[in-house]
Amino acid sequence: MEVTKEQIAEWFKGLQDAICNSLEVLDGKSTFMEDQWNRPEGGGGRSRVIKDGDLIEKGGVNFSAVSGPTPDKILKALNLPEAEFFATGVSIVLHPQNPWVPIIHMNVRYFEMSNGVWWFGGGIDLTPHYVIPEKAKNFHQHLKDACDKHNTEFYPKFKQWADDYFFVKHRDETRGIGGIFFDRMTDKEGRSKDQQWSFVKDVGETFIPAYTDAVKGLRDKHWSESEKNWQKIRRGRYVEFNLVHDKGTKFGLDTNGRTESILMSLPPEANWEYNHQSSSEIEKETLSFLKKGIDWV
């Protein structure tokens, strides 16, 4: 008996619980506040936000399971026949206090329709304000290990997909050092629904060890006001991507999702300096890494 949408949603709720518990321990100061919400057309979710922590300045770990008639915008955008839909998943964005600590994002999700259409999607990516090659290599190794357990072709394929997806076109730069991204994974690819689901679960469980290693040795690193300003400028680029290019943001808004939960991905503060020019060598080095196709592992 293959996995059901109810079982998938329940597992995602457990993933949200496990990640929130681990992040509270890792932060050591702040805790999550929960906001439960209902969607008028069907379903709802649990939004959890943490702020003013020792490690995390602002972050969210959201679970949702929404359903109902598929909005026309979604049908047209995805070229789908009219039917009821069900979508569930967990979405995470963490903005750190320290400029040396990277922003991290993860989303794992499942979508199905009453006509039998279904697929999985998701990914994890890292957006350092300062790119440190050894940290980038370690992060990508976590993702490659998770992928290789299922198919050695996954990592190179999904890394390229992430490079292409997390690209700020109007800036001609990647959002960060990428990661993996995958979407519309079905059984038509020669893998059963349960096999695809097993992969998605492993991606979800990779988040905490990957993030723990990403912040290790950096969270207590001294920073200056100049470095804090650079963090805010890089956050501005993050905002630009999420509001201009991100399909997840558009999907949430187009399905009448909860706006506060959808936009929790935005940082608490960001700067847009007119025609900003990098002044330090490490800023220039970071910009040189914001391109597609870097082989980190």
How does DSSP classify residue 293?
T
CB 24 within 8 A of CB 49: no
Helices 133-148 and 193-215 pack at an angle, to 10 degrees, of 160
The pairing of beta strand 56-69 with beta strand 103-113:
unpaired
Sign of CA dihedral 57, 12, 63, 141: positive
Between CA 203 and CA 206 the distance in angstroms is 5
Per the annotation, the verdict on 105 as an active-site residue is yes
Contact 252, 266 (CB under 8 A): no
Please name every residue paired with 105 in a beta bridge, in sequence order, or none if there are none: 93, 125
**How many CA atoms lie less than 13 Å away from 161 in the CB half-sphere?**
15
Is residue 2 within 8 Å of 194, Cβ to Cβ?
Answer: yes
Name the active-site residue from 105, 129, 140, 142: 105
Q: Tell me how far apart the alpha carbons of residues 24 and 7 are, in angstroms, rounded to a whole number.
A: 26
Catalytically active residues are 105
